[in-house]
Amino acid sequence: MSTTSLIGREVHVDAEGFLTEFDEWDEALGAELAAQIGVAMTDDHWALIRFLRADYAETGQTATTRRVATVGGVPVKQQFELFPKKPGKKMAYVAGLPKPAGCV
Amino acid sequence: MTTTEPLIVPNFGDEDETDRKLVIICSKGNLDMAYPGLVLANAALGEGIAVDLFFTFWGFDMITKNRQAHLKFSPVGNTAMHLPTGGRMPQWLSPFPGMTWVATKMMRKQIDDLGIPPVDEFLDQIVASGGRLWACRMSADMQGLTMEDLRDDVEDIITAADFMDLSEGAQTLFI
């Protein structure tokens, strides 16, 4: 297990750079993670990230794009607009969660 | 042991210049054989890969408005069919009246339990993710179907020669 320094804090990350400790994340850190991958956070981005965090707290799994659409209420098309090209992984990264494990 | 590393940012491939492209030929109209193409198309789109789906022969049922919600799964001829109670389903049993109905109902439930959408909704999601749907000219002519009969988001009915243009430089899967 590795740690790295983000906004002056030590956080645990995996080999690809995804945070591994749910409780080390807050929105200031989320904003910094988003900046790292070139995403400028808006209210719509935050609403989605807050859903992912809450859903993970409840289920123990990172929601897939499908679940973000059906349960989180953010249509798939909008997810691609907010987190271009690879929405599933990018959302998870910004939210400080593991990559989604589900196929759909 | 914990070590402190310099900041690592995942590579989401945003700078990649390789325009990876996938073409999936969907040729089956059974419920079970509709899903491999849909799952792979959806996964590829989620990875930033351009996807075109080409529907041909029995695969037409996946995009025909009045058929796409009614695909069936039949255990006939499927020796990998197992019973919920354990053991294989005897082949003599599978053609019995009602077996297709039961097997279809069970498969739909299993799919739904996993949070995987039915075929029509799955195609909605694929199109919303940027996937494109194409229909085969020969299959349309054989079945007497026109664009009117197909989902509104089907791009066009195209010939085998058009398909060659469509699939140029793409990785192609036949299902």
CATH number of the domain where residue B126 is located: 3.40.1260.10
**pLDDT surpassing 70 at residue B122:** yes
Tell me: the pLDDT tens digits for A75-86? 999 999 999 999
Among B residues 87-126, those touching chain A with beta carbons less than 8 Å apart: 114-117, 122, 125
Q: Is the same domain home to B113 and B91?
A: yes
User: Would residue A18 count as lying in a domain?
Assistant: yes
Q: Decide if B145 contacts B65 (C-beta within 8 A).
A: no
Lookup result for tokens 């002056």: A8
- Residue A100 belongs to some domain of the structure: no
Do B87 and B172 share a domain, yes or no?
Answer: no
- Nearest residue to B145 (alpha-carbon basis) of B68, B32, B53, B31: B68
Of A36, A75, A90, the CB nearest to B128: A75
Same-domain status, B99 and B127:
no
In chain B, the N- to C-terminal Cα span, in Å, equals: 47
Residue B2 pLDDT class (50, 70, 90 cuts): low
* Domain interval for residue B93: 72-117
In this structure, is residue A90 part of a structural domain? Answer: yes
Is residue A103 domain-resident?
no
| B127 and B57 inside one domain | yes
Residue in chain A nearest B129 by alpha carbon: A77
Domain co-membership, B31 together with B63: yes
| Cβ neighbours of A97 in B, within 8 Å | none
Same domain? For B127 and B169 the reply is yes
Q: Is residue A101 part of a domain?
A: no
Tell whether B10 is covered by a domain.
no
Q: What average pLDDT does the structure give for chain B?
A: 92
Q: What's the average model confidence in pLDDT over B108-127?
A: 94
DSSP structure string for chain A: -EEEEETTEEEEE-TTS-B--GGG--HHHHHHHHHHTT----HHHHHHHHHHHHHHHHHSSPPPHHHHHHTT---HHHHHHHS-S-HHHHHHHHTT-PPP----
B104: closest CA among B70, B79, B80?
B70
Residue B123 and residue B111 share a domain:
no
Are B65 and B136 members of one domain?
Answer: yes
| Closest CA of chain A from B26, distance in Å | 18
Helix (H, G, I), strand (E, B) or coil at B73: coil
Check residue B164 and give its pLDDT: 94
Nearest C-alpha of chain A: how many angstroms from B95? 32
Q: Taking 90 as the threshold, does the pLDDT of residue A4 lie above it? A: no
Which chain A residues have a beta carbon less than 8 Å from that of B49? Answer: none
**pLDDT value at B3 more than 80:** no
pLDDT-derived band at B5 (thresholds 50, 70, 90) equals confident
Nearest to A104 among B2, B5, B116 (CB): B116
Q: Which of A18, A87, A103 sits opposite B10 (nearest CB)?
A: A18
Look at residue B91 in the predicted model and tell me its pLDDT: 87
- Measured between beta carbons, the chain B residues lying within 8 angstroms of A67 are 115
B98 and B160 assigned to the same domain:
no
In this predicted structure, the answer to whether residue B52 has a pLDDT above a threshold of 70 is: yes
A53 to chain B, any CB pair closer than 8 A? The answer is: no
Active site residues of A: 103
Q: Chain B contact for A90, CB < 8 A?
A: yes
Domain count, chain A: 1
Over residues A70-75, mean pLDDT = 94
Per residue in A10-53, pLDDT tens?
999 999 999 999 999 999 999 999 999 999 999 999 999 999 99
Residue B17 pLDDT > 70, yes or no?
Answer: no
The pLDDT confidence band at residue B4, using thresholds 50, 70 and 90, is confident
Q: How many domains does chain B have?
A: 2
Q: Which among B130, B41, B18, B10 has a CA at the least distance from the CA of A85?
A: B130
Report residue B82's pLDDT band, with 50, 70 and 90 as the boundaries.
confident
Q: Nearest CA to CA, how far is B96 from chain A (Å)?
A: 33
More confident residue, A1 or B101: B101
d(CA A3, CA A12): 4
Which parts of chain B fold into alpha helices (H)? 31-46, 99-113, 119-128, 137-143, 160-166
State whether B140 and B112 are in the same domain: no
- Residue B1 has what pLDDT? 59
Picking from A4, A66, A88, the nearest residue to B117 by CB comes out as A66
B97 and B127 fall within a common domain: no
Residue with tokens 């193409």: B37
A70: number of CA atoms within 13 Å, CB side?
15
- Domain range for A70 is 2-94
Cβ contact (<8 Å) for B8 and A15? yes
Do the domain assignments include residue A52?
yes
Mean pLDDT of B162-171: 94
pLDDT tops 90 at residue B85: no
**A61: distance to nearest CA of chain B, Å?**
13
Place B125 in a pLDDT band, splitting at 50, 70 and 90: very high
Q: What is chain A's mean pLDDT, rounded?
A: 93
Q: Is the pLDDT of residue B18 over 70?
A: no
**Domain shared by B79 and B107, yes or no:** yes
Q: What is the pLDDT of residue B141?
A: 95
Overall average pLDDT of the B74-94 stretch: 86
Question: Does B129 contact A37 at a Cβ distance shorter than 8 Å?
Answer: no
pLDDT given at position A102:
81
